[in-house]
Amino acid sequence: MPAMEAVVVEGIRRVFTPRKREPVTALDSVSLTIPVGEVHGLLGPNGAGKTTLVKILSTVLLPTEGRALVCGHDVVTETKAVRPLIGIVFGGERGLYTRLSARQNLEYWGALYRLSGPQIKERTAMLLDRVGLTDRADQRVEEFSRGMKQRLHLARGLMGDARVLFLDEPTTGMDPLAAREFRKLVGDLQDEGRTILLTTHDMVEAETVCDRVSLIDRGRILATETPRSLGSLISRFQRIDIEDAPDALLAQLKLVAGVSSVSPQADGSIRIEVNEDGATALVLRHLVDAGITSVKTSLPSLEEVYVQMIGERGLVV
Amino acid sequence: MRAFLAGARIQLRFLRSYPDSLIPFFTAPMFTVIFLMIFRHAGRPDLTAYATVAPVFIALWWLALFNAGWSIQIERWNGTIEMLVAAPSSFAAVILGRITTTTMIGVVSFAETWLVARLLFGATVRIHHLWAFVATIVITLATMAGTSVAMSSLFVLTRNAVTFSNAASYPFYILGGILVPVSVLPHWIRPVSSIVFLSWSADLLRAALRSTPMHDVGFRLGMVALLGVCGFALGAWAMRVILVRVRTSGELGTM
Ligand SMILES: Nc1ncnc2c1ncn2[C@@H]1O[C@H](COP(=O)(O)OP(=O)(O)OP(=O)(O)O)[C@@H](O)[C@H]1O
Ligand SMILES: [Mg+2]
């Protein structure tokens, strides 16, 4: 029976012990289960441990404690079984042979993923096309822009026809159109039955492509939810935004039972937050009675959840 | 096997884009000139065989070792070493494919050095035992490549593999009796020399250039091959151990 869970992480802990310095705990009792076919997002501040987790799952790094399975195979004891099943994209400037052309890079990895000659040719052409690099295929990678390298990274990760893809910040450096294409590509990959674990700092990206996201901070998973329901973790209630209102009305709204705050926003609009069931309806009635109909209700966005849960810590890591 | 071929193929492409890694083709004939001048000056034309075989061995071994270091270094520079380790193919086999390719190209330096000996010094190199000669070269090349894998596993541990690999070549020149016969080395060092395959290879090659009959060719070739197989086995094992080590320490991807 094929494993229904693409990724299972059980109590993973990873400690780095750099020479002559204090040990760093990059991951601490992390557990996570990703079913086959899910696109899972890993969100968290710099140094949270996202890359470390991805590296452990892709057999590059060993966990200090705990166990992880990919398609039912242990990433420590069954690397031979795991490696053909996974595709890795570690984003950034590095990870490509800069003096070779895009095509040569892909062909090489195709061979290392044990494809036959004709398969290599076919997949290379198909993937170059898929990431929009066909015209640049025979140019050296060192001449590529950052976004072009990023696309090539992606094609490289797909060379082996992996069942589970690990994408570490796959869209950094991509222009908005390329990023949009990327999101479409992720959808296609999902339709093909692949499982994707992706780290990102782009909340909109996470909201649009991920079935579920995990918030991770200082090596611990804070929450794993769908992007929508994650909002309810910081507020079960909707917020009401209005463009403008007389001060008297605002003062009156503040007195409505269940209204927690009435605050002007940077863009000149006014946000009313409630913390009791039924309060939204009361507020809306007041607004309509006062003749204000341009009203928007919403749940907190993923970015707000993120900021709230991670806390505003500026540039401290 | 596929990993080996993939390594060979990428190496040809690398050599084209990093031509500096073929520097021994440039230095080998220089060594010939130096050695021949010294031997002539000392009045020992009988040592011509040493002067023409030594530069080739230096070139070949340097190429093998340098490429062992350089293959690892290139992976670090490009930040691809982690992905290479995570790929389904055997890391050691890919590296072996790369090193073998360069070493095979290195055979060209035979032609080079002999041409120089001929043109500048009028020294003709005559191969008296052709089959022994060819067999020695083929087996030596394979052995060099195999042994280099053992070395490259050590290079995974160092941050500057290329510098290290440069330095690592010299002891082998001495222990391998490449230019100076092992018989002039101190007694205590001779046993060490006999486990360096280069000493067997160099002896065989020089013998193949002499008109006197050769002895125990099969046994001596067997020794070269045996040392090569041991070298590769040791290398593949060390590579596995070291990869586990760097996966534990997290130093695989660091530059
Ligand atoms: N090779 C290493 N040696 C020592 N410490 C390391 C090593 N790799 C990562 N760390 C430490 O582990 C912690 C987690 O790092 P990691 O790269 O996983 O963070 P991240 O969530 O991917 O951050 P970012 O968003 O910046 O990519 C950090 O404190 C980092 O300094
Ligand atoms: Mg990271």
Structure tokens at A92: 């950034």
Q: Does B83 touch chain A (CB under 8 A)?
A: yes
pLDDT reading at A23 higher than 50: yes
ipTM associated with this complex: 0.82
pLDDT tens sequence across A129-187:
999 999 999 999 999 998 899 899 999 999 998 999 999 999 888 888 888 888 999 99
| A98 contacts B88? CB cut-off 8 A | no
Which domains does chain A show, CATH number per domain?
5-231 (3.40.50.300), 236-298 (3.30.70.2190)
Mean pLDDT of chain A: 89
Question: Residue A235's pLDDT band (boundaries 50, 70, 90)?
Answer: low
Q: Does B245 touch chain A (CB under 8 A)?
A: no
Question: Residue A233's pLDDT band (boundaries 50, 70, 90)?
Answer: low
Q: Which chain A residues touch B if contact means CB-CB below 8 Å?
A: 16-17, 55, 58-62, 80, 83-84, 86, 88, 90, 92-100, 104, 108-109, 111-114, 140, 156, 160
Which pLDDT belongs to residue A313? Answer: 65
Structure tokens at A62: 């060993």
Which pLDDT belongs to residue A314? Answer: 60
Q: Please name the residues in contact with A286: beta carbons below 8 A apart, sequence gap of 6 or more.
A: A249, A252, A253, A256
pLDDT tens sequence across A62-105:
999 999 999 999 999 999 999 999 999 987 778 899 999 999 99
Mean pLDDT of chain B: 85
Could you tell me the pTM of the whole model? 0.83
- For residues A91 and A97, give the distance between their C-alpha atoms in angstroms, rounded to a whole number: 14
Tell me what percent of the residues of chain A surpass a pLDDT of 90: 52
| A84 contacts B247? CB cut-off 8 A | no
Give me the residues paired with residue A240 across strands.
A272, A297
| B78 contacts A112? CB cut-off 8 A | no
**A30 phi, psi to nearest 5 deg:** -95, 125
pLDDT reading at B153 higher than 60: yes
Number of inter-chain CB pairs under 8 A, A vs B? 85
Edge-to-edge, what's the strand order for the sheet holding A220-225? Answer: A86-90, A164-168, A195-199, A39-43, A212-217, A220-225
Ligand nearest to the CA of B250: 1
Question: Residue A7's pLDDT band (boundaries 50, 70, 90)?
Answer: very high
Q: Of B17, B197, B134, nearest to A105 (Cα)?
A: B17
Structure tokens at A121: 């040719």
Task: Answer whether A279's CB lies under 8 Å from A237's CB.
Answer: yes
pLDDT reading at A219 higher than 90: yes
In sequence order, what DSSP letters do the residues of B47-93 get, joined into one string? GHHHHHHHHHHHHHHHHHHHHHHHHHHHHHHHT-HHHHHHSSS-HHH
- For residues B151 and B155, give the distance between their C-alpha atoms in angstroms, rounded to a whole number: 7
- For residues A108 and B11, give the distance between their C-alpha atoms in angstroms, rounded to a whole number: 10
Which pLDDT belongs to residue A27? Answer: 96
| A160 contacts B6? CB cut-off 8 A | no
